[in-house]
């Protein structure tokens, strides 16, 4: 699905230099490279504050902690997603409220959010799935109307831009009150381990996020609030400093792969290729097709037998996961989420795919449907 070694070999000298310099300095925790990376990512995203942390799940958890919610307050999130966004809601003693997603773009809609709002609703976590954004302009209008906080889960869409009705643009993750991302090794901007970050233009929230991520301390041994220990280590910051320079190039290469897939697969009647939304660019963290007529699992098995990896993101909607059976409620019917879980299939997508590899992948898919 990814080829991290080949990507590394292309930037090996730069990566090794950064790692060696950390080893020489022995500043493994809160080294200078961490603040340098935060500053550089903030400049890239045109956002005032970037606060790094241990991973993307921590970023979501710390963000919710910064909002001063109360036990049993409700937070709306999509049912078709990875578990992290809902998991942290429940972990903190809040109640996840699941909503359906749009069938075409996999993302939560403002209308589904409105249907799920109750007098206990305090926040929304829109997840920008697979590389492009939810309809953030409408979602922010709903949040304003109902006085709700918005925490964007941008773990899969860092570098994607959102276009508003007045033609202004912002990067996803910088539109809500707080944005969160992950630097997991398979992400578009990835480290060689775990890492994450939070973004905000709000000075008060930025201070809260930094405080909570560091045991609730500004000064050592003076704890102002209950916090956690979540930090990006200096080695990973060094890796990310290098890769940030190549992020636009990586995204462009992924888009070329997507164009190839689209052209080769769009005429297969039993496949629906990803639809590009007019309001958001796409980073293609995943290239996810829909396989119709119950053929998804058979296609996946066939590809595996012929040396082509593929993945199902995600096989079970969150509202049907046992972990949430007594902790969550559903805000509307999950027709699309349940249908998507039986149809989606993600194909290999990374920056090192060759033309020959892509031709082989699509030839196997076409053979299956002959």
Strand-strand pairing, 49-53 and 74-78: unpaired
The pTM for the full model equals 0.96
Q: pLDDT tens across 144-194, in order?
A: 999 999 999 999 999 999 999 999 999 999 999 999 999 999 999 999 999
CA distances from 218 to 28, 31, 35, 212 (A): 20, 17, 16, 9
pLDDT of residue 331: 87
Q: pLDDT tens across 239-286, in order?
A: 999 999 999 999 999 999 999 999 999 999 999 999 988 899 999 999
Strand-strand pairing, 121-124 and 149-153: parallel
* DSSP string computed for 107-173: -B-HHHHHHH--TTEEEE--B--TTS---HHHHHHHHHHHT-EEEEE-TT-TT-EEE-TTS-EEETT
pLDDT of residue 278: 87
Give the three-class secondary structure for 250: helix
Give every CB contact of residue 328 below 8 A, 6+ residues apart in sequence.
86, 90, 95, 96, 97, 98, 318, 319
Residue 347 and residue 37: Cα distance in Å, rounded? 31
* DSSP string computed for 17-50: HHHHHHHHHT--SS-HHHHHHHHHHHHHHT-SEE
Tokens encoding 17: 């230099």
Closest CA to 112 of 334, 347, 365, 320: 334
Q: pLDDT tens across 45-93, in order?
A: 999 999 999 999 999 999 999 999 999 999 999 999 999 999 999 999 9
Cβ–Cβ < 8 Å for 258, 250? no
What end-to-end distance do the CA atoms of the chain give, in Å?
Answer: 25
Give every CB contact of residue 365 below 8 A, 6+ residues apart in sequence.
265, 268, 271, 299, 303
Q: pLDDT tens across 113-137, in order?
A: 999 999 999 999 999 999 999 999 9
pLDDT of residue 349: 97
Tokens encoding 70: 């109360």
Q: pLDDT tens across 313-322, in order?
A: 999 999 999 9
pLDDT of residue 58: 98
**Sign of the CA dihedral 202, 203, 208, 213?**
positive
Q: pLDDT tens across 285-310, in order?
A: 999 999 999 999 999 999 999 999 99
Residue 48 and residue 67: Cα distance in Å, rounded? 18
Residue 76 and residue 99: Cα distance in Å, rounded? 7
Cβ–Cβ < 8 Å for 270, 292? yes
């Amino acid at each position: 699905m990814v080829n991290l070694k080949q990507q590394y070999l292309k930037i090996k000298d730069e990566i090794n230099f950064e790692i060696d310099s950390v080893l020489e300095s022995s500043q493994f925790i809160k080294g200078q490279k961490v603040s340098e990376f935060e500053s550089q990512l903030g400049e890239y995203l045109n956002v005032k504050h970037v606060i790094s942390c241990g991973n993307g799940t921590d970023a979501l958890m710390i963000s919710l902690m910064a909002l001063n919610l109360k036990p049993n307050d409700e937070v709306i999130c999509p049912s078709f997603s990875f578990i992290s966004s809902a998991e942290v809601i429940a972990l903190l003693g809040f109640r996840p409220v699941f909503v359906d997603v749009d069938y075409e773009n996999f993302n939560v809609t403002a209308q589904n959010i409105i249907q799920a709002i109750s007098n206990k609703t305090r926040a929304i976590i829109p997840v920008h799935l697979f590389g492009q954004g939810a309809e953030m302009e409408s979602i922010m209008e709903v949040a304003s109307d109902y006085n709700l906080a918005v925490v964007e889960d941008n773990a899969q869409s860092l570098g994607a831009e959102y276009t508003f009705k007045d033609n202004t643009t912002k990067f996803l993750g910088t539109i809500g009150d707080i944005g969160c991302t992950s630097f997991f090794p398979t992400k578009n901007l990835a480290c060689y381990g775990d890492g994450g970050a939070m973004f905000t233009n709000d000075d008060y929230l930025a201070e809260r996020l930094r405080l909570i991520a560091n045991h609730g301390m500004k000064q050592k041994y003076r704890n102002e609030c209950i916090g956690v220990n979540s930090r990006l280590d200096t080695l990973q910051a060094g890796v990310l400093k290098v890769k940030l320079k190549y992020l636009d190039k990586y995204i462009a290469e992924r888009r070329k792969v997507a164009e190839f897939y689209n052209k080769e697969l769009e005429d297969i009647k039993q496949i629906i290729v990803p639809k590009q939304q007019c309001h958001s660019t796409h980073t293609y963290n995943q290239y996810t097709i829909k396989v119709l007529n119950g053929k998804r699992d058979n296609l996946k098995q066939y590809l595996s037998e012929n040396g082509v990896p593929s993945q199902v993101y995600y096989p079970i909607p969150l509202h049907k996961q046992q972990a949430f059976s007594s902790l969550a409620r559903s805000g509307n019917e999950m027709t699309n989420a349940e249908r998507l879980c039986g149809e989606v299939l993600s194909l290999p997508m990374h920056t090192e795919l060759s033309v020959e590899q892509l031709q082989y992948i699509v030839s196997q898919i076409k053979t299956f449907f002959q």
